[in-house]
Amino acid sequence: MKISWMRLNNGDYGFITPSEFNENEINFAKSKGVLLEMRYSRTANERYLANICPDCRAFVGDWFLFDDYIIEYMYDENLPKYDMGYYCDNE
């Protein structure tokens, strides 16, 4: 399953999930083969854009994304990473 998230290099090295992506970021993730759909999360009690498994259609909610996926990607140099350039959360 391909997943998408963005690491922010703004001093605190935070990250954002697809639920916070703008249209360009959504399109970029989809161009790399990531399946994104709106899903309802019982944990968050809301609907938001999430990474979806193309086989079973399950989604990875924001709650589990960091521990289950982001940590591995941050430290595995063999996994693909793409530079999205400038990001501003005020846009």
Each residue of 4-55: pLDDT tens digit?
Answer: 888 776 555 678 889 999 999 999 999 999 999 999 988 889 999 999 999 9
Predicted local confidence at residue 13, as pLDDT: 63
Predicted local confidence at residue 77, as pLDDT: 77
Round to whole Å and give the CA distance between 81 and 56: 25
Structural contact between residues 5 and 70, judged by C-beta atoms closer than 8 angstroms: yes
Q: Give pTM, 2 decimals.
A: 0.76
Per the domain annotation, does 16 fall within a domain? yes
Per the domain annotation, does 39 fall within a domain? yes
Per the domain annotation, does 1 fall within a domain? no
Structural contact between residues 84 and 76, judged by C-beta atoms closer than 8 angstroms: no
Per the domain annotation, does 14 fall within a domain? yes
Range of the domain at 54: 6-75
Per the domain annotation, does 91 fall within a domain? no
Per the domain annotation, does 61 fall within a domain? yes
Tokens of 31: 């161009």
Round to whole Å and give the CA distance between 49 and 36: 6
Per the domain annotation, does 38 fall within a domain? yes
Q: How many domains does one find in the chain? A: 1
